Amino acid sequence: MIDNKVNQKKLVVNKLTSAGINITPETLNIIMSLENPLEILNLIIKETSFIPSFNSYLTLNILQKISNEEIQKTLKRFVSKEIIIENLNSTSEKPEKAEWIVNVEKFSIEPEKKDMINSSNIEGINNFKEKSNLALLGHVSASLPKPSKEKKKSKIYDSAKSTLHFKPLAKEFDFSYEILKDPTGKLFTSGDYDDFYDLTLDKYNKLRNLMRKRPEMKAATNISNIFRLSRNFEISTLGLVNDIYQSKNGNYIITLEDITGTINVLMRNVSENVDYIKTIERTVKDQLLYVDGVYNPGEQGKTGIIFANTISKIDIPTDYKPNISEEPVSAALISDLHIGSKEFEEKLFTKFLNFINGKINKKNYREIASKVKYIIINGDLVDGIGVYPNQQEDLTISDIFKQYNFAAELLSNIPEYIKIFYVAGNHEPVRNAIPRPAVPKKYSQELLNLGVKCLGNPSLIRTHNVNTLIYHGESMHDMNMIIHGLDNNNPVETMKELLICRHLAPVYGEKTQIAPVDNDWLVIDKIPDIFHTGHIHINGIGRYRNVSLINSGCFQAQTDFMRSFGISPTPGITPIIELDTLNVLPLDFKKINS
Ligand code: FE
Ligand code: ZN
């Protein structure tokens, strides 16, 4: 009988090894105590491939996510037993209970978790600083004791402090990247009125094709066809919003336009339409809407109108599955350094550089740094010159070339095994209107010498299978001004709206300058796995339908200009995203003493 168990254990371990899965002794114990471990193991191996956060380490947390009654029962039994044992053995020297699950593993995130969270299933987290360690453990956490502050100071990392051991894992992997979309050198315009017409037409065609991918769109008809109807008829159509207003009794009238004509749509403001009203309240001119309802031709000589039943935008499919990397590498997403500005937070940025080089006196930070293979600088690397009136008063370096010299000097501290992508923001010496080409060579030569990849705004890149849409974020201020319920303190909500309408700048006649080019680069035709923006200077992290949303913090303190707009920036918060799990670790360099 005992022999049999030993054999079984060997088989289980073999099976796991050949599936490339690592396991902790605790988890193995649990599996071995199942009625038929080998059979259940097959199920576990299969199920783990559907868990996005699974990175080949089978932990209790991962087991939790597998819906199998026997596993869940055994798990419950074990977790409470372990806690009792832990409690009996507990001394102040012992690490927190919360750690016994994760600390056996090589690259799991080890606390000081105060400054970081696992965002795998949390949407729009902004106040992550308040989240406890236990957030990492899913619902196992409910039965675990709360960690105490004293224990935090226990000696777990003492050995790490004496020797700053740093062997970057990312160095062991080759670069694997592709530029999927970059407007640099591909922007053609004559500046004529015709170009705006071409742009709108291209936008309409692209958005329409995206909308048409939804199965319920098949029946949608052209607007001119609708006018041929002489009696009430159920129809569906789609068009760009030409006008939108609320009538005296609170209903919404929207004018839709396609290449065949324009038509009015009425959505009644009644409780059963609450979701559609919300959609309308977040709609601006030139977005594409789908409507179905009843067409009423009206009395003779009058124009007909659609009484809408439903109204919707293109959106992202609810079952979107993000691509992930097979290699355990990460990307650091930064923006808005504003080098040359009096408010550039050089000290904080030096801490970031120390972190990247494994020189932070915390083992877990060095582990995170060791995986960083890519750094994306999403615009406003330099403060530029003449960007706004009297800018020179706010500059410490008032020569654009010298700003770039200093930028190159700082970035030269980043090791060669890390690839840097640099997208041009609104402070860069390039035209203000978007889409915007990469910074010209005459400014960026030193950066190019360092191997920095300079890109236009927006760009789409693929790193280790993961697609990242990089957009500086110019239109986000406008969106926040126009749309009630959106504001600068919650950039993730604004990013979500851009994804839903599948356009990066669905604003019309506001501050965002849009270049009259013949083809619309701002349509989000390919769904990104990571959507990265900056510009707002306020960090935000979230997820929408499995797309990771990240607005970088910045490395610039509050300027007078921001103060006048009531913007409180979050300098030093730097999100690191693991490309193999898409978990985001927002490090706060203000809180790190290096
Ligand atoms: Fe900026
Ligand atoms: Zn900016």
pLDDT digits (tens, 9 = 90+) for 324-368: 999 999 999 999 999 999 999 999 999 999 999 999 988 999 999
> Which of the following CATH numbers is that of domain 170-183+327-588: 2.60.40.740, 3.60.21.50, 3.50.50.60, 3.30.420.40?
3.60.21.50
Which residues crowd ion ligand 1, with CB under 5 Å? 336, 380
Residue 79: is its pLDDT beyond 50? yes
Q: Span 78-91, mean pLDDT?
A: 39
38 vs 362: which has the higher pLDDT: 362
Distance of CA 535 from the midpoint of ligand 1 (Å): 4
Three-class SS of residue 75? Answer: helix
Of all ligands present, the nearest one to the C-alpha of 556 is 1
Core vs surface per residue 291-307: b (16+ CB within 10 A) or e: bbbebbbeeeeeebbbe
Of all ligands present, the nearest one to the C-alpha of 337 is 1
Q: Which of 258-262, 345-349, 400-404, 514-518 shows the lowest mean pLDDT across its residues? A: 514-518
Percent of the chain with pLDDT over 90: 63
Distance of CA 328 from the midpoint of ligand 1 (Å): 31
Are 241 and 228 in contact, with CB atoms under 8 Å apart? no
Does domain 212-312 sit in CATH 2.40.50.140? yes
Chain centroid, CA 445 distance in Å: 30
Of all ligands present, the nearest one to the C-alpha of 474 is 2
Distance of CA 257 from the midpoint of ligand 2 (Å): 33
Distance of CA 519 from the midpoint of ligand 2 (Å): 24
The pLDDT score that the predictor gives to residue 51 is 64
Nearest CA among 85, 152, 162 for reference residue 113: 152
Distance of CA 424 from the midpoint of ligand 1 (Å): 11
pLDDT in tens, 280-304: 999 999 999 999 999 999 887 788 9
Distance of CA 174 from the midpoint of ligand 2 (Å): 32
Of all ligands present, the nearest one to the C-alpha of 382 is 1
**What is the C-alpha to C-alpha distance for residues 244 and 137, in angstroms, rounded to an integer?**
46
- Label residue 26 by pLDDT band (50, 70, 90): confident
Three-class SS of residue 449? Answer: helix
Indicate the helix (H) or strand (E) that contains 9. helix 2-18
Distance of CA 562 from the midpoint of ligand 1 (Å): 10
Local structure of residue 273 (DSSP, 8 states) = G
Q: Span 269-277, mean pLDDT?
A: 96
Sheet holding 419-423, edge to edge: 453-455, 419-423, 372-378, 330-334, 573-578, 584-588
The pLDDT score that the predictor gives to residue 562 is 85
Distance of CA 406 from the midpoint of ligand 1 (Å): 17
**What is the C-alpha to C-alpha distance for residues 335 and 534, in angstroms, rounded to an integer?**
6
Distance of CA 588 from the midpoint of ligand 1 (Å): 18
**What is the C-alpha to C-alpha distance for residues 262 and 242, in angstroms, rounded to an integer?**
8
The pLDDT score that the predictor gives to residue 144 is 31
Residue 135: is its pLDDT beyond 80? no
Distance of CA 331 from the midpoint of ligand 1 (Å): 20
C-beta neighbour count of 415 within 10 angstroms = 12
| Residue extent(s) of CATH 2.40.50.140 domains in the chain | 212-312
Are 116 and 133 in contact, with CB atoms under 8 Å apart? no
Tokens of 178: 């592709």
Distance of CA 248 from the midpoint of ligand 1 (Å): 41
Q: What is the rounded end-to-end Cα distance, in angstroms, of the chain?
A: 56
52 vs 336: which has the higher pLDDT: 336
The pLDDT score that the predictor gives to residue 7 is 78
Q: Span 535-542, mean pLDDT?
A: 97
Distance of CA 408 from the midpoint of ligand 1 (Å): 18
Tokens of 319: 């079952």
141 vs 475: which has the higher pLDDT: 475
- Label residue 11 by pLDDT band (50, 70, 90): confident
pLDDT in tens, 482-537: 999 999 999 999 999 999 999 999 987 788 999 988 889 999 999 999 999 999 99
Give residue 213's region: left, alpha or beta (phi > 0; psi -120 to 50): alpha
Across the chain, what does the average pLDDT equal? Answer: 83
Are 310 and 293 in contact, with CB atoms under 8 Å apart? yes
Distance of CA 425 from the midpoint of ligand 2 (Å): 5
| Residue extent(s) of CATH 3.60.21.50 domains in the chain | 170-183+327-588
Residue 84: is its pLDDT beyond 90? no
Tokens of 426: 């609104």
Distance of CA 50 from the midpoint of ligand 1 (Å): 38
Q: Span 186-205, mean pLDDT?
A: 82
The pLDDT score that the predictor gives to residue 183 is 96
Distance of CA 533 from the midpoint of ligand 2 (Å): 10
Distance of CA 380 from the midpoint of ligand 1 (Å): 5
Nearest CA among 578, 576, 552, 61 for reference residue 324: 578
Are 336 and 379 in contact, with CB atoms under 8 Å apart? yes
**What is the C-alpha to C-alpha distance for residues 511 and 540, in angstroms, rounded to an integer?**
23
**What is the C-alpha to C-alpha distance for residues 196 and 179, in angstroms, rounded to an integer?**
27
